[in-house]
Structure 1
Amino acid sequence: MTTRASTGWSGQGQGRTGVVENEAILSEYDRPVLFYVLATAFPWGFWSLAALLSRLPHQNEPVLIGTLLLSVAGLLSPLAVVILLIRRRPALVADVVNRLHRPKGRGWFFVVCAVALPFLSLMAAQGLSLLFGHGTEQFQLRTGFSFSSGLMPVWVTLLGAAVVEELAWHSYGTDTLVRKMRVFSASLLFTLIWALWHVPLSFIDGYYQNEVVKSGLLYTLNFPASMVAFVVLMNWLYFRSGRSIIVPIVFHAAANVSAELFMTDPDSKVLQTGLLLVLSTVIVISDRTLFFGVPRRRADRNRSAGSEARR
């Protein structure tokens, strides 16, 4: 793995130019508060109503359709906010469209990583769980699913959620944080926001997050803990592939599919979180220039101040 980190890196005023692709455009993603308020408030509203419908005593077809429509509306809301914010800004539209193209050059290496990491880490976690007394049946393919999604086929939910979410989070959401923050800080802040964003889903009867909460406190806490590693790894893949939106979509989809493909014990998912946290820590330390490099304008100001001080 090749990184741009140097042995004597200190992080004081160190810029990340050449590490973040086309960093100059990031300054145009200038509505972080508006984006995250709307991208969270609308899903919370729709999903709260969906949760109420899902708990009605009579789950007839109109109720199920209403729950489905509200759930989909919540999922699509962040993407709708992105469209609202960029629709009259040609530079942003062009940037987003450009990043929807398939990765070029070494970008394909990160596509392979995006596919492989969720599956390999899950296999390693399941193998490790054998040492704690869990069975080999975990390696069998699942014949059903661990959750329901109402009238929506589960596979459509797994893949559709990955596509729609990342079209919002990595077209606007990540860049609007990184324009003024270090990538590491932005990743942690986004993890917090994203965890809160998912909260209403835990009240929709039968949905994945609802089943996680029902399974117990350990597995409930594992969900946001896994997000820390997930976001750090996904942002590393995203920026190292040249800000390709396709890469986080693939990573998110692979994670969703791998979680439902095998008869994985919940304890193995906790072990997988531990393994991914270790891996993400190694990557952050190895690629410090990316994660701790100062945003371009601040780095320019720091260099200017340093030049003035030396005169």
Structure 2
Amino acid sequence: MSSSLPNAAPDAAPAPPQVPAAPGDRYRGDLILFMAVTFALSWACWFTAIAIGGSSKEGPVAAPFMLGAFGPLVGAVVVRARRRRRGEPVPAFAVRFRRQHLLWAPALLVLTSASVLAAALLGHAAGDPALSWENSRDIMDDFGGPAAFLVGLLVSGPLSEEAGWRGTAQPRMRASLSLVRVALVLGVTWAVWHMPLFFIEETVQHDLGLFSGSGVLFIASNIPMAMLAVCAYERGGVVASVAVHFAANATMVLLDVTTATTLAMVTGILAILAALLLTFALPRREPATGDAAPVAGTPPAPPRAPRLVD
């Protein structure tokens, strides 16, 4: 006697496990988003100022000119908001704020300012005009006094940029690049980002002229400046990179560094200083641990030693 059994339904195939994005892929997406927001906002504002025409210091040009400086800060806020929404950890190479960073910031500020001053003195020895305190005082008066000068330069460059270039882009790039490569990439990117300013009247860049020797050297100086700010971030976080950025900007403006000879001196001395810091003064630290729990299912990353140079 035979019996028949109903055909059993085939077992459903198990759903494939979700593979979380690798940190490198995640960082690549963060960098693309940051650069897109930064360039879109800054260049939209600056090209609007160019289209309006007129002085960057007054009238309808002043607002888009100033707003454009905040592109990197807005890009940083957007990337951080997305990271928090997704519950992703802080980038492994991010430098957390520590109280000792408050000691590095003034030291690097003085060192950077002294380097620019030394370059200006060398430029004078090579035939450039002598330094003049009266000229520096006139520059501060044009800003509305010393306090307005210091606040304006602090807000319009260091505070509006460093949280982006160094605080956001640098630690994500450090996941796959050495410090030297990060500095070079950020330096070139920084120089390109500044380009529209050459076409806005009464900016430092416009006064130099894009195709003059001074203009070309200003563009080139972005690379050692970025190297120095990268070193400052590694040693003292965003606070230190803000100090370096502010010191270089303020000293160059007060000393009216505009000639090709002095700009060449500034570029060379800052490059030497950055090279010395890269070689001798940076901690060989392990990547920091993120403050958020990793995405579920993400295997722990194997430990890796950070590379300072290739």
Q: TM-score, normalised by structure 2?
A: 0.70
Q: Does 1:165 align with 2:161?
A: yes
Cα offset, 1:156, TM superposition:
4.5
Helix, strand or coil for the counterpart of 2:136? coil
Cα offset, 1:37, TM superposition:
2.2
1:87 alignment counterpart: 81
Which of 185, 189, 202 in structure 2 is aligned with 1:193? Answer: 189
Which of 137, 160, 167 in structure 2 is aligned with 1:143? Answer: 137
- Which piece of structure 1 moves more, 181-190 or 271-280? 271-280
Change (3 A) 1:53 1:288: same
Question: Per residue, is there more helix in 1 or in 2?
Answer: 1
Cα offset, 1:198, TM superposition:
0.4
Q: How does 1:1-20 map to 2 (within 5 A)?
A: none
CA-to-partner distance for each residue in 1:102-139, whole Å, 9 max, x for gaps? x423x344213321123211221233234323454446
Q: Are the counterparts in 2 of residues 229 and 273 from structure 1 also a CA contact under 8 Å? A: yes
Q: Does 1:248 align with 2:230?
A: no
Q: Are the counterparts in 2 of residues 213 and 220 from structure 1 also a CA contact under 8 Å? A: yes
Q: Does 1:178 align with 2:178?
A: no
Q: How does 1:33-52 map to 2 (within 5 A)?
A: 33-52=32-51
1:7 alignment counterpart: none
Cα distance in 2, alignment partners of residues 240 and 265 from structure 1: 30
Residue identity in the other structure for 1:144: D
CA-to-partner distance for each residue in 1:40-98, whole Å, 9 max, x for gaps? 1221121011012124xxx7xxx944312212332223222222222253367988xx9
Cα offset, 1:176, TM superposition:
2.2
Cα distance in 2, alignment partners of residues 77 and 138 from structure 1: 34
Cα distance in 1, alignment partners of residues 53 and 231 from structure 2: 37
Q: Does 1:217 align with 2:212?
A: yes
Change (3 A) 1:99 1:68: farther
Q: How does 1:1-311 map to 2 (within 5 A)?
A: 29-30=27-28, 31-55=30-54, 64-90=58-84, 101=97, 103-105=98-100, 107-138=101-132, 142-145=136-139, 155-161=150-156, 162-213=158-209, 217-241=212-236, 244-264=237-257, 266=259, 267-286=261-280, 300=304
| Structure 2 segments unaligned to the other structure (5+ residues) | 1-22, 288-299, 306-310
Determine which structure has more spread, i.e. the larger CA radius of gyration: 2
Cα offset, 1:189, TM superposition:
0.7
Q: Are the counterparts in 2 of residues 183 and 290 from structure 1 also a CA contact under 8 Å? A: no
Cα distance in 2, alignment partners of residues 265 and 300 from structure 1: 44
- Which piece of structure 1 moves more, 132-141 or 248-257? 132-141
| Structure 1 segments unaligned to the other structure (5+ residues) | 1-24, 302-311
Q: Are the counterparts in 2 of residues 122 and 269 from structure 1 also a CA contact under 8 Å? A: no
Change (3 A) 1:265 1:89: closer
Cα distance in 1, alignment partners of residues 234 and 282 from structure 2: 13
Change (3 A) 1:300 1:160: closer
Cα offset, 1:165, TM superposition:
0.9
Residue identity in the other structure for 2:159: V
Change (3 A) 1:193 1:290: farther
Q: Are the counterparts in 2 of residues 111 and 247 from structure 1 also a CA contact under 8 Å? A: yes
How many percent identity over aligned positions?
19
Q: Are the counterparts in 2 of residues 140 and 263 from structure 1 also a CA contact under 8 Å? A: no
Cα distance in 2, alignment partners of residues 175 and 36 from structure 1: 14
Change (3 A) 1:173 1:221: same
Q: Are the counterparts in 1 of residues 49 and 61 from structure 2 also a CA contact under 8 Å? A: yes
Cα offset, 1:219, TM superposition:
0.8
Q: Which has the higher contact order (CA 8 A, sep 6+)?
A: 1
Cα distance in 2, alignment partners of residues 209 and 218 from structure 1: 12
Cα offset, 1:297, TM superposition:
6.2
Q: Are the counterparts in 1 of residues 209 and 215 from structure 2 also a CA contact under 8 Å? A: yes
CA-to-partner distance for each residue in 1:187-238, whole Å, 9 max, x for gaps? 1111111111001111111111111217x62111111221111111111111
Change (3 A) 1:88 1:67: same
